[in-house]
Amino acid sequence: MLKPKSGRPHIILITTDQQRGDCLGINGNNDLETPNLDHLASRGVNFNKAYITCPVCIPARRTLLSGLSPDTHGLRHYQDGVDFDPPATLPGCLRDAGYQTELIGKFHMHPQGKRFGFDNITLSETSNWRPKSPYQKRNDYVRWLQHKGVTQHPHYQGINGNGRLVAPWGMEDSLNWNNWVIEETTELLTQRRDPTCPLFLHLSFFHPHPPFIPLQHYFDRYLRKDLPDATIGEWAPLAPAQGLSADAVAGPFDVEVMRRAKAAYYALINHIDDCIAHILEQWMGIPELAQDPAYILFSSDHGEMLGDHHLFRKSLGYEASARVPFFISGINTEINSGRTNELVCWEDVAPTLLDLAGLEIPECMDGKSLANHVRGETSIKTRDHIFGQCFSAHSNLWIVTDRWKYIWFPKTNEEQLFNLQIDPNETKDLSATAHEISEMRILMAENLSTREDVSYVVESLTPCGNKPPKVFWGDRK
């Protein structure tokens, strides 16, 4: 393998926010256009079963940064304003090894501005500027707009930042948040990069997270398509819902509203795909970077229910919410390309990238290196299941194996069971009929054996039995 002057490969970590695992063309989505990411994934290792163990923004991003599980880093739900002081971080380890460490985009750590091992962070959590927020006052994107003479608030559309409603981006295309990322990255590569050391660059896009405000031409592209309706399981309710808030978690939702939401969601992903292509073109236009080896890891912090089973947003253990795209590719590197069904999670990102950089993995990290897949070495199965959780109004804990998905709702003591091998879309709940639920209960009990905040008593469990979970819909049928 070629080596840069520094002796270590460059590393590019690209993350999106709220992108489902099935939302890449190469992952079987025939309606979504992601040719650039598809090409990268085809030349690398594509992990089909990648999960977020607490599928909401801040806990997931703590895990990405530190390699720690939610149980270890202490945040099992969404909460702003909580200090974080991990024993080691991915950028900190790389910085100590001589890397220039840079982040551009969303970070969502507290206190805002703390670098956690990055030499520099160019920061914008969202286009929705909140100058009076105690947690998100800083927004470098807005400062960039102001330097261009734009005084209008970029979130003037009023579209909810967690909702299903849609409006096209109304300002000039060149003023879009994604284009800010392109401009800042180009400036880094051409003006601020230290040519004497390797670069660790985290490109952190905040879309396709709502607000759903795509550029008009991308939105039109998907409005013209005959997009399939959301997947509705046999266990979801039939009765229509009225008077729902714009950011409601549980429907049923208006079919036309959800069609527009899916079109906007796909449009935002398509735009990011084009932005990534532009940034990599800039990278390849710099001779020394074009000749150096670099690893690229792409993933997302959680998915989006997008109306599946009449549910919306994230935080749930269902595939649409907890499973994410995850692949490792590269430039001037020898990668044993292909697909794998090994169970992986965001705890694995930091150990993997440190391993690929030739560095020791701190013992404190909970994740496992996946570098053996990249190098084509004999694969050793790292885990037989993944345990996930998120505490909220609809608190849920879940186990996923090669075949089964088990979900427990502690507030109602309900449980669901899905056979992912024959029912990957989780349309039939087998909790009342499959004897395998006993094995999944054992795994759940083992993961909760030292916990005092929840009480998991098998004798008190209520299988949903292919009926709507009361945690979402009460006694509705």
| 306 lies in the same domain as 434 | no
Q: Is residue 176 assigned to a domain?
A: yes
Helix (H, G, I), strand (E, B) or coil at 89: coil
pLDDT digits (tens, 9 = 90+) for 181-234: 999 999 999 999 999 999 999 999 999 999 999 999 999 999 999 999 999 999
Closest Cα to residue 34, out of 268, 291, 204, 378? 268
Boundary (domain end) residue, out of 331, 350, 383: 383
Q: What is the pLDDT of residue 152?
A: 85
Boundary (domain end) residue, out of 350, 383, 416: 383
Q: What is the pLDDT of residue 1?
A: 40
Boundary (domain end) residue, out of 343, 361, 383: 383
Handedness of CA 182, 183, 188, 189 (dihedral sign): positive
- Please give the span between the terminal C-alpha atoms of the chain, in angstroms, as a whole number: 60
pLDDT digits (tens, 9 = 90+) for 8-53: 999 999 999 999 999 999 999 999 999 999 999 999 999 999 999 9
Non-local CB neighbours of 192 within 8 Å, separated by 6+ positions:
102, 120
| 245 lies in the same domain as 377 | yes
Which tokens belong to 476?
């509705």
Q: Where are the beta strands (DSSP E) in 22-145?
A: 45-51, 100-105, 120-123
Mean pLDDT estimate for the chain: 95
According to DSSP, the β-strands at 45-51 and 323-324 are antiparallel
pLDDT-derived band at 156 (thresholds 50, 70, 90) equals: confident
Q: Write out the H or E segment, with its range, that includes residue 232.
A: none
Q: Is residue 147 assigned to a domain?
A: yes
Task: Count the alpha carbons within 13 Å of 251 in the hemisphere toward its beta carbon.
Answer: 23
| 375 lies in the same domain as 456 | no
Total domain count, the chain? 2
pLDDT digits (tens, 9 = 90+) for 182-197: 999 999 999 999 999 9
Closest Cα to residue 103, out of 79, 82, 119? 119
Look up the CATH number of the domain holding residue 447: 3.30.1120
Q: What percent of the chain has pLDDT over 70?
A: 98
Distance CA(445)–CA(426), nearest Å, equals 23
The catalytic site residues sit at 57, 108
Q: Is residue 343 assigned to a domain?
A: yes
Angle between helices 255-284 and 35-42 (to 10 degrees): 60
What distances in angstroms separate CA 13 from CA 2, 125, 275, 328, 348, one per listed residue?
A: 20, 17, 14, 9, 13
Q: What is the pLDDT of residue 6?
A: 55
Which tokens belong to 81?
């304003």
Q: What is the pLDDT of residue 133?
A: 86
Which tokens belong to 465?
């039995």
Q: Is residue 67 assigned to a domain?
A: yes
Main-chain phi, psi angles of 382, to 5 degrees: -85, -25
Q: Write out the H or E segment, with its range, that includes residue 141.
A: helix 140-147
pLDDT digits (tens, 9 = 90+) for 392-418: 999 999 999 999 999 999 999 999 999
Q: Is residue 449 assigned to a domain?
A: yes
Q: Is residue 439 assigned to a domain?
A: yes
The two counts, helices (H) then strands (E), for the chain are: 14, 14
Closest Cα to residue 15, out of 138, 123, 106, 90? 106
Please check the confidence at residue 242 and state whether its pLDDT lies above 90: no
Distance CA(82)–CA(190), nearest Å, equals 36
Non-local CB neighbours of 22 within 8 Å, separated by 6+ positions:
28, 29, 319, 320, 323
Residue-by-residue DSSP string for 247-310: T-SB----HHHHHHHHHHHHHHHHHHHHHHHHHHHHHHTSHHHHHS-EEEEEEES----TTGGG
Q: Is residue 354 assigned to a domain?
A: yes
**Residue ranges making up the domain that contains 424:** 395-473
Please check the confidence at residue 249 and state whether its pLDDT lies above 70: yes
Segment among 1-15, 103-117, 120-134 with least mean pLDDT: 1-15
Residue 107: CB atoms within 10 A of its CB come to 24
pLDDT-derived band at 3 (thresholds 50, 70, 90) equals: very low
| 334 lies in the same domain as 290 | yes
Please check the confidence at residue 83 and state whether its pLDDT lies above 80: yes
Q: What is the pLDDT of residue 2?
A: 43
Q: Is residue 198 assigned to a domain?
A: yes
Angle between helices 216-223 and 255-284 (to 10 degrees): 130
Contact between 266 and 227 under an 8 Å Cβ cutoff? The reply is yes
Helices (H), 20-111: 35-42, 57-66, 70-73, 90-96
Distance CA(97)–CA(353), nearest Å, equals 13
| 126 lies in the same domain as 31 | yes
